[in-house]
A and B are shown apart, each in its own frame.
Chain A
Amino acid sequence: MRTFFRLAVIATGVAVGAIGAHAQQKEWKEIRIGTEGAYPPFNNLNARKELEGFEIDYMNALCDKMKVKCTWVVQDWDGIIPALLAGKYDVIVAGMNATDERKKRVDFTTVYTRTPIAVIAAKSVASADFSPAALKGKAIGTQGSTIHANYLEKYYKDSTIRLYPTQEEANLDLENGRLDYVVADKMSLDDFLNNKGKDCCKEVGLIERDPAIHGPGTAMAVRKEDTALRDMISKAIEESLKDGSFEKVRVKWFKFAIM
């Protein structure tokens, strides 16, 4: 028993030491990247279970630029920040807007996209008015734990807000007719309107960004202590915006500017 106890103490010591050494390590040779894999065209798991999308290609290009080995981890959106904090991966690249609320828990890199926010509805909806007064009593859906959910909660108090685990489920419920409106990033919704939602739905309009809720744009999130990693990625993003490598990936996925 005593031997076992000693072994346990030694093992714990080694483990703590290893973690301590890891925390001090400044040189990043390998980065694990967390993404959602359910937000096309930014990041999506295709039918062959492979990740694809603008963010996947862009981050892989950044990894080449930084000369680091990158591995991808797929994580549900609801737990994407807790899993970063728990050390399951080192950086989140998942269309995350750098809001003040999130900055309390994580650090953000330089912003790399700034996407418009769109409202979509069934084709039969004639009015282009989507003000809170016009949408009184209507069912509006979006993904939970997003800036869009916060925005709807704040301004559309008289509407029924439905929050889904993924954006795809919200889109599906609009198609099914359970929802009257869906709110999300325009790019993500365009992808839906151009494919599955071609026959059912259309864009009603764009929501103006509210800086207090929506933040300055999409950035990558790291743990607060990993300042070296944050600065390394920020530098790579800035370079990519200047040297055309960002544009090279962008034109593959989007017809118009996203920054």
Chain B
Amino acid sequence: MTWCEAPGYWLGHEVLQNYGCRIASGLLVTIELVALSTTLGCAIALCIALIRLKGPAWARGAMAAYTTFFRGTPLLCQLFLIYYGLGSFRPFWQSVDLWWFFREPFYCALLAFTINTAAYQAEIFRGAIASLPRGQIEAAKALGLSRFQLLRLVVMPQALIVALRPLGNELITTIKVSAIASLVTLFDLMGATKLAFARSFDLSIYLYAAAIYLALVEIIRRVLALIEAHLTRHSATDNPHARAL
């Protein structure tokens, strides 16, 4: 018996034991997908947020259109448009040497989740940065800080405190909606669970999948609490928002 069959064995649950390894590898796919898409999405979101606040008018408009589109349409629709829509232009992708990317369901799902979460995260960053009082930025400029220093030393440390909770919510949402990856043949946690159910017709397998998602979300909640404590370590009050402003 391998380690991934152990939980089912201990619980005396035959289906969970038989499909334990598939569910474990599904969990790994889910974690990879979510970790990569939220990290990449975060980097893109920061750029979008800064452009929306400081960029030229045309770029601001373009970024606003981007966030409006990707926040306003269902992720499933975006995923299908990328997977089946863009996937149907094989000769073109082959000519630009990108077919290896669009051929793989994992990359398609990663792309869909990244651009979607980037739109949400951009709005969070924009709101957090905009919430800083103008005086702070003026004072920093008066001190002769460069634009980069202003961002690194004044804006981001305070904006992150405001943004942390909504970013955590976005991460949690991404974990849960990542289940739709199973619709484009990816055996993520949900895909592996569906397979186990289809073979065994045992509904309780969904309950175990729910428990795994719940555990994942709970771990993230606790890690976020630790990060928040770190970011507000200089603060005497226990209300980080009041301190930041």
Listed in ascending order, the chain A residues whose CB lies under 8 Å from chain B are 78, 81-82, 101, 104-105, 141, 144-145, 149-150, 162-165, 169, 172-173, 175-178
User: Can you report 17 A-B residue pairs in the complex whose CB atoms are below 8 A from each other?
Assistant: A78-B198, A104-B201, A105-B201, A141-B185, A145-B198, A150-B199, A163-B185, A163-B191, A163-B195, A164-B185, A169-B84, A173-B84, A176-B87, A177-B90, A177-B103, A178-B87, A178-B105
Closest CB in chain A relative to B165 CB, distance in Å: 35
Residue B235 at the chain A interface, CB threshold 8 Å? no
Give the shortest distance, in Å, between B75 (CB) and chain A (any CB).
16
Instruction: Tell me which of B183, B185, B194, B199 has the highest count of chain A C-beta atoms within 10 A of its own C-beta.
Output: B185
Contact B87 A173 (CB under 8 A): yes
Which 5 residue pairs across A and B have the least CB separation, nearest first? A145-B198, A162-B185, A177-B90, A176-B87, A105-B201
A104 contacts which chain B residues (CB < 8 A)? 201
Chain A residues closer than 8 Å to B88, beta-carbon distance: 175-176
- Give every chain A residue within 8 A of B81 (Cβ-Cβ): none
The answer to whether B203 has its CB under 8 Å from any CB of chain A is: yes
User: Interface on B for A, CB 8 Å cutoff?
Assistant: 84, 87-88, 90, 99, 103, 105, 183, 185, 191, 194-195, 198-199, 201, 203
Chain A residue nearest to B186 (CB atoms) is: A162
Contacts of A178 in B (CB 8 A): 87, 103, 105
| Complex: A82 Cα to B194 Cα, angstroms | 13
Query: Given the interface contacts A176-B90, A178-B103, does A144 sit within 8 Å of B201 by beta carbon?
Result: no
Contact B87 A78, beta carbon cutoff 8 Å: no
Bound complex: CA A163 to CA B105 (Å):
11
> How many Å from the CB of A91 to the closest CB on chain B?
17
| Total residue contacts A-B, CB cutoff 8 A | 39
For the complex, give the distance between the alpha carbons of A259 and B103 in Å.
39
List of A residues within 8 angstroms of B191 by Cβ: 163
Q: State the Cβ distance, A108 to closest chain B Cβ, in Å.
A: 15
Which chain B residue shows the least CB distance to A77? B198
Q: How far is the CA of A176 from the CA of B194 in the complex (A)?
A: 25
Known: A144-B195, A165-B183, A178-B103. A82 touches B203 (CB 8 A): yes
A172 CA to B88 CA in the complex, in Å? 9
Residues of A within 8 A of B103 (CB): 177-178
Q: How far is the CB of A128 from chain B (nearest CB, A)?
A: 24
Q: A78-B198, A163-B195 are in contact. List 5 more A-B contacts (CB 8 A).
A: A104-B201, A144-B195, A165-B183, A173-B84, A178-B103
Give chain A residues whose Cβ lies under 8 Å from the Cβ of B198: 78, 144-145, 149
Closest to A105 in B: B201
Question: Once bound together, how far apart are the Cα atoms of A243 and B84, in whole Å?
Answer: 46
Closest chain A CB from B42 CB (angstroms): 29
B207 to chain A, nearest CB (A): 14
Choose among B84, B105, B203 the residue that contacts A162 (Cβ–Cβ < 8 A): B105
Residue contact A176 to B185, C-beta cutoff 8 Å: no
Bound: A259/B191 CA distance, A: 35
**Chain B contacts for A144, CB-based, 8 A:** 194-195, 198
User: In the complex, A104 Cα to B200 Cα: how many Å?
Assistant: 9
- Counting chain B CB atoms within 10 Å of each CB, the highest count among A105, A172, A173 belongs to A173
Alpha-carbon separation in the docked complex, A141 to B105 (Å): 13
